Each structure stands twice: as structure tokens, then as C-alpha cells.
Structure 1
Amino acid sequence: MSVTDRIAKLRKLMEERKMDAYIIPSADNHQSEYVGEHFKARAFISGFTGSAGTVIITKDDAGLWTDGRYFIQAEKQLEGSGIRLFRMAEPDVPTKEEYLESVLPDHGVLGFDGKVIGASEGQNYEEVLKEKAVSISYDEDLISYIWEDRPALSNAPAFLLDLAYAGESTASKLERLREKMQEADTTVHILSSLDDIAWLLNIRGGDVMYTPLVLSYAVITMEDVHLFINESKLNQEILDSWNGLSVILHPYEEIYTFVKTLDETSHVLLDPSRINYAIYKNLPDATEKVEKPNPTTAFKAIKNETELKNIRASHIKDGVAFTKFMYWLKKNVGKMPITERSASDKLEEFRSQQAGFISPSFSPIVAYKEHAAMMHYSATPESDYELKPEHFLLADTGGNYYEGTTDLTRTVALGPVSDELKTHFTAVARGMMNLARARFLYGCRGVNLDILAREPMWSLNIDYKCGTGHGVGYLLNIHEGPASFRWQLSPSGLPPAVLEEGMVITDEPGIYIEDSHGIRLENELVVRKGEKNEFGQFMGLENVTVVPIDLDAIVPEDLNKDERNYLNSYHKFVYETLSPYMTEEENEWLKVYTREI
């Protein structure tokens, strides 16, 4: 079935149900960023495979809303589909809400599957459309009638994350959570977000590719934990770890009937951005709802010392794997057939040789030449470029280890590169280093520091249409809130998070020139306390990524003294850390690529 055939079938179902518009987001029942195969309804209906985007179908129009990371990819993948691309945050481009307000008739009907739309998003549609008396139909997944060979829900087994990795017991985490529930004067807390549940219960799984999570919901009271999950996922080790915690198991789908049993004595703490609209609407009107961010969101963002020790170890393993790959790539390009896909496979092979490796931490982005201008490019058999000893290869990849999750980007010169490419590469390297060197007073947020990374690009009248960095979970989501580096305020309107000691955040500026090249360099940083004096508590950033920055593409004259010193110091750290794990030949090469300049 072609995309146009699928849309035609959907419109027929909409007509039968008297719906004027239908929304298909990129979400699962848990508002996850990355979703299992069963939930890829937006990709099914549109053919656009990026991780973020929303499709809206009306009787005579169709649109995809996505952000700047995916403009190039979306334009290519939507060609011939009849779906228009709406470039989010660009001038004169209507938001989804503005579009719906303009196309829906008075007393019209907006449809969507309430399980895959967040409660806050659903509430927003209600508010925007109330003047037109638009009603919302949220209790039916129309895509399920069209997608005949839809994959089943994942039933991958869960595993226990031992205290040696988690650093804190479930009992301790529940105690901290219940203290926050009491502070909010609540007796019930609904958790739908998979990373929050996995962190709280010290479990991980395989229900979402690249993200080791377990499909589940949780309702926490002052005495019990009601866990909604396919019980066959749980082994005895997990069950034994919950002894004495009053964890009560329910079938996965029973969450929707369970919340209906809550009454006026239930004061419910919930985050409307992290539970779905169907759960929210199933709560009885008599229940008192206290809408605040999940306390676990802040808890898990601040890594404990056990987690930080493990994270450093995971980055040494990842650094060994990538540096061996970088050596192999430079040595063999042009001498043997290597493509984007085979290079990606080779890098995963190097990672798989590291003890404790579980899986890649996201879909690898290995992009040659102009493909790298697409921030989230994914090579296909049709697009797979063969690498030549020239130009740049961008590799944005990472690994899940028991010791943590890594996210790393290096752009590698495969041979001679132009002066323009070197100038752009050096600007990106300067931006990354300048942010990593930041010293700042406690209370600063990522929005205060983002300019340090962008300034070298802005001085060239160049920008990149994404944030500079995101939080990273501990064997959880590769993108984790609440902290980030970005110069614009969040579209949610929520204030950016204060940078707290123990947060792990990426530092990844870039330059993307369509049809020419893309350059990104990315290290992970840990927020640490520095000196405290009469001016206040100073903070700094500890780098944990251990991989050379390709000196073949650096213009030393473009670096100031501080930048040059930082790069030389960083490369000394890389060599001293990695050399014990490399072969003699690899170390001779590594000496050259970590030399002082």
C-alpha cells in the first residue's frame, strides 16, 4: 500500500466517524521520544522515518510538522505523498494548533488516539478549539484498522540493574519520592514515562530499540506500588529485589480501568506532559489533581557517585572502540570497499568487543559528504555512499553499557579537505571546547551558556537549527530532561533547569550546509562544583568523552592561546587514558593524532 492509499483509507474511516481532522504523532502510550515498532504509526501513514514529527490529515489536506533536524530528510521522504511539510519554528509557518483552528469547522470533530497524545497536548487542543465548539474523539486508534501487518507489542524480558550500577536501592528511591508526594499534599502518583519507572524500580528491558526500557505504568501510593506490566517479563531476581516494598502487579492495559476507581479521597500527583490524554480523561472528576513535573525527573538527572564512576568507565570503553574505528577508517579508506553502512557496522563491532556492552544507544548516524547536512541521517541500501579518501565522514553514535549510556560525535577527514571545510571544522571545535571550559555561578541554566558554543559559528554568520546539548540518562533515554544547552527558551514555556552538580549533558555544536557538508563534534560533560567564595558557588564542567578530535581538519592559526592549550591538554588526557588498551601500531598512530599543536 502506498502512502496515498493509506491516507485514502484513513479518510474513509474519518468520514464514517464524522471526523474533520485526525492527528498521528510520533509517540507511544508513554510519550517516549523513541518508540517500539508497534507504535510507529506516523512513519506508517507518511513514509517519513525521523524520530520527531506529527501528521495531521483532514478531508482534503495533509501536513507533517517537524523540527529543523529533519527538514532536509522530510522534504525528500514526503515527495509524491501529497503531505505538505510544515517547518516548525520557521517564519510564517503555522503551528499545529493554528492550523487546526483555521481548518476545522464550527462544531467539528478532531480525532486522535488518546493513548499516544500527551495530556497537556490534548488539553491545549481543547483550549484552542473551544471557541469553535470542536469536540474531541480520543478513544479509537484508526491506524490499527489500516495497518494490517502491524508489529505486536514488544514482550522482551526485563533485567535487574544491580546496586553496583544503580548506586541507590528502590526502597531509598521510593522513600524520596513519597517525601515529595507529601510535600505536594498528594497520596497517589501516576507514572507513565518509561524512564521514570525503570529508574525508580531499578529495572531495564528491551521493549524500545536502542533504549533499554520496559512497557509499563505505575501508580504509587503511600503504602503500595501498583505496576501495570506483562508479568512474564519479570524474572525472580527482579521480584526478589522488591520484597517488602508491596509491589502489586496488574496486566499492562488495566491502568485505564484502575484510574477510574480513584475517588475524592485521592489527591493525585501527575505530570500532564508525561502521561497520556486517555489516562487523564479516565480520572474521575472528583479526584484532586496536582499537576507538577514528576519528582523522579529531577532525581534521575542528578547522577550519584556510583553512577558517575561507572559513566567514566563506560566512556573509556567507548573511547577505545571509537578510536580503534578511527584508526581503522583512516588506514583503510580507499584501499578496500567501505560504505556508510559498513562503516557503521564496523564501529558497532568494535563496541561489541567491550565488556558490558548491551546495544547501540540510538540509531547510528554515519553520514558522508552532503549526507551529513541532514542532522539525523540514516543510511539506507539506496542512499549508502561508498567512502573515498577525501572529504568528511560524520559519525554520531553511542553505546549502552551496564556502566552507562554514551553519546559521541566525531567528524573525520578521510583525505584532503578544502580550506572552507577546515575553517568550519575548526569553528565547531572551538565552540565545543569553549562551552566545555565554562566556569559559572550556581543558578545558571543552559540558556545562559549556549552562546559560548555558538559564538564561533555566529561570527561566520552561520547557525545550527537545534540545541547545543541535552541531558543523558543512565542506561535510560539518550535525551533526558530537564537540563539542556540552547539559546532559545523551550517551546513548552517552562523555565530551563538550573545546572546541578551531577547532571550529564552533551556539548555538540555543528555546521550544516545543505548539499555540501555537515560537521558536528560532541563530548559529554558532567556538571561539577568548583570554588566557593565571597562571590558565590562557582561551577564547572568535567569532560568524560575520551576520543581524539581530528587534527587533520584543524586550522591551528584559528585557535587562540586558551583554545590551543585546552585542545593539547585534552589530547594528552586521551592518549594517557586510551594507550593501555591499544595495540603498538594503534598507539603510534594515536601519538600523532594527540600531538601538541
Structure 2
Amino acid sequence: MTYKEKLSEIRKQMKADQVEAYIIPSADPHISEYLPKYYKCIPFTSGFKGSAGTLVITHDFAGLWTDFRYFEQATEELAESGFELVKQKVQHAPEYIQWLGEKLHAGAIVAADEQLLSILLGDLLTDKLGAKGISLTNKDYLAPIWSDRPALPTESAFLLADTHVGQSVTEKLTSIRASMNEVGAKWHLVSSLDDMAWIFNIRGKDVNYNPVVLSFALISADQATLFIDLTKLDDASKEALEQAGITLAPYTSIEQALTAIPEDASI
């Protein structure tokens, strides 16, 4: 399937759902800049392989918003793709939000895959577009057309010895819980992979040139759960984490765990 054919298929789904614009950020559920192949949505959709950018698709326009580092690369890679380069004025600024607010009419619906939006970006989209009478909804228009999507990485992970990192997992959790107590937080969700590597002294090969492991953590005053593909850990690593008071759970069960938190709890 060519990039133009993919664009056409996305627009067909948008039309069926009465969606006026679709946003595809360069991100994963961990808001990483460097992504595992499974989450390389922008290269799949448009051919652009830079590490920063956002695609915005309407029924009559498709653009890549990116910064000056990628102007030349984007011009070359977007040729014949159906996408145009939109040059950002400020690096990392979501300038497409203002563009959408000016282009779309009140009552329009904008869609994005919520797994790829940070809380900050989701709130910004909701606030800025909502002020124009435009609503945001959760849609994944890539899954139905990405038949050969790479699987999530399955490389083994490993733990670093306390002697190599200077602080044990238990000590780090104690420090985190003290900070949570200071601000009155009952739960702490950790999604950034570099933070996960530090807290749990864990390393892996899930992202090229980055020694990180796809994982989440949910920490409370008396619980700490590590959400990870359990096949990545050997028995010794599992035992060491459990001895540190950590519960192990499947990577994909994080959403279920979050929905189980009481609505009035602070996180």
C-alpha cells in the first residue's frame, strides 16, 4: 500500500465517523522520542523517519509539522506521499492546534489515538479546541490498515546490581513515597522509560541505542506494581523484584489497574 493509498483509507474511516481531522504524533504510551518499531506510526503513514513531528490529516489537507532540524529530510521523504511539510516556528510547540482551531468549524470532531497523547497534550487539545466548539475523540485509524505491523519487542531485560547503581530499588521507592506524602498523592503512575530504568535498576533492548524496557509502574504507600512483559525477566530477576516488595503484572494490564483506582484518589 502506498502512502497515498494509506491516506485515502484513513480518510474513509474519518468520513464514516464524521471526523474532520486526525492527529498522529510521534510518540508511544511512554511519550518517548525514540520509538520501538511497533509505534513508528509516522514513518508507516507518510515515510518521514525523523524522531520528532506530528501528522495532521483533514479531508482536503495532510501535513507534517516538524522543526528546523528536519526541514530538508522531510522535504525529501514526503515527496509523492500526499503529505506536505509545515515548518514549525518553535521547536516542540504544538502549533497545529491553532491551525485546527482556525480551519475547523464549531461542532467539528478531531480524533487521535489516546495512547499516543500525553496528559499535557490531551488537556491542551481539549482546552484549546473546546474553546472553539471542537471536540476530541479517541480513534485508532492505523490498526485496520497496518497488516504487517511489527510486534512489540520481546528482548530479555536484566537487573543491575545495587553495587553498580549506588541505591537499591527499596531505597528509591522509600524516597518516592516520601515525596508522594509531601504532596498528598495516594498513587504515582510512572510511564517514562528512563524513570523506569532508574527506579527498578532495570535495563533492556526495546529501543535501538536506548537501554530501556517497555514498562509502567504504579506506586502507592504500601504497593508497587511493575507492569512488564513477564517473559522478558528470568526467574532470578523476578525473585529479586518480588523480594524488594514489587508485584509483577502483565504490561497490557496497566489500563485495568488504573480504572480500579477510586475516582476520588489523588494520582
Q: Compute the TM-score of the two structures, normalised by the length of structure 2.
A: 0.94
- How many Å separate the matches in 2 of 1:264 and 1:39? 30
Shift of the 182–251 alpha-carbon distance from structure 1 to 2, 3 Å rule, reads same
CA distance in 2, matches of 1:69, 1:241: 43
Tell me which residue corresponds to 1:255.
Answer: 254
Q: Which residue of 2 aligns with 1:228?
A: 227
Aligned partners of 1:160 and 1:203 also within 8 Å: yes
Q: Does 1:25 align with 2:25?
A: yes
Unaligned runs of 5+ in 2: none
What's the offset of the Cα at 1:198? 1.6
**Alignment correspondent of 1:403:** none
Equivalent in the alignment of 1:88: 88
Which residue identity lines up with residue 112 of structure 2 in the other structure?
F
1:369-518, aligned counterparts within 5 Å?
none
Give the Cα separation in 1 of the matches to 2:185 and 2:97.
32
**Deviation string for 1:447-480 (max 9, x for gaps)?**
xxxxxxxxxxxxxxxxxxxxxxxxxxxxxxxxxx
Q: What do residues 289-314 of structure 1 show as CA deviations (whole Å, max 9, x unaligned)?
A: xxxxxxxxxxxxxxxxxxxxxxxxxx
**Distance in 2, Cα, partners of 1:235 & 1:244:** 14
On the 8 A contact 1:219/1:227 being kept in 2, the answer is yes
Q: How far is 1:228 from its partner?
A: 1.4
Q: How far did residue 260 of structure 1 move?
A: 1.2
Which amino acid in structure 2 is aligned with residue 23 of structure 1? Answer: I
For residues 94 and 45 of structure 1, the distance between their equivalents in structure 2, rounded to whole angstroms, comes to 19
- Post-superposition offset of 1:205: 0.9
SS of equivalent residue, structure 1 residue 115: helix
Aligned residue in 1 for 2:140? 141
| CA distance in 1 between partners of 2:109 and 2:263 (Å) | 31
Partner of 1:245: 244
What secondary structure, in the 3-state scheme, does the structure 2 residue paired with 1:242 have? helix
Secondary structure at the counterpart of residue 99 of structure 1 = helix
Partner of 2:118: 118
Write out aligned runs for 1:73-472 (5 A). Answer: 73-89=73-89, 95-138=95-138, 140-264=139-263, 266-268=265-267
Letter in 2 for 1:122: G
Q: Which amino acid aligns with 2:18?
A: K
Partners of 1:201 and 1:246 lie apart in 2 by 11
Structure 1 SS opposite 2:35: coil
Q: Percent identity?
A: 38
Q: CA deviation at 1:243?
A: 4.0
**In 2, distance between residues paired with 1:178 and 1:201?**
14
Partner of residue 9, structure 2: 9
Structure 2 Cα separation of the partners of residues 35 and 236 of structure 1:
28
Alpha-carbon separation, structure 2, partners of 1:250 and 1:240: 14
- Contact 1:203/1:238 (8 A) holds in 2: no
Matched residue, 1:40: 40
* Other structure's SS at 1:79 match: coil
Q: Identify the residue that residue 384 of structure 1 maps to in structure 2.
A: none
1:155 is aligned with what amino acid? T
Matched pairs, number: 265
Q: Alignment partner of 1:23: what SS?
A: strand
2:225 maps to a residue whose letter is H
Secondary structure at the residue paired with 2:11?
helix
**SS at 2:154's partner residue?**
coil
- Residue 249 of structure 1 aligns to a residue whose secondary structure is strand
* 8 Å contact kept, 1:217–1:228: yes
Which structure: larger Rg? 1
Higher relative contact order, chain-length normalized (CA < 8 Å, sep 6+): 2
Residue pair 1:67, 1:89 contacting (<8 A) in 2 also = yes
* Pair 1:125–1:222, CA change in 2 (3 A): same
For structure 1, the residue ranges without an aligned partner over 5 or more in a row are 269-597
Q: Aligned AA for 2:234?
A: N
CA contact (8 A) 1:42 1:55 kept: yes
Q: Alpha-carbon deviations, 1:346-388, whole Å to 9, x = none?
A: xxxxxxxxxxxxxxxxxxxxxxxxxxxxxxxxxxxxxxxxxxx
SS at match of 1:211: coil
Q: 1:7 to 1:264 in 2, by over 3 A?
A: closer
Residues 28, 115 of structure 1: 8 Å contact kept: yes
Amino acid in structure 1 at the alignment position of 2:107: H
Q: Tell me if the contact between 2:31 and 2:116 (Cα under 8 Å) persists in the aligned partners.
A: yes
Normalising by structure 1, we get a TM-score of 0.43
Q: Residue 153 of structure 1 aligns to which amino acid in structure 2?
A: L
Conserved? CA contact 1:216–1:227, under 8 Å = yes
Counterpart of 2:50, as a letter, is: G
CA distance in 1, matches of 2:170, 2:249: 20
Q: Secondary structure at 2:45's aligned position in 1?
A: helix
Q: Does the 8 A contact of 2:242 with 2:248 survive in 1?
A: no
Structure 1 distance, partners of 2:23, 2:116, is 10
Letter aligned with residue 220 of structure 1: I
RMSD: 1.6
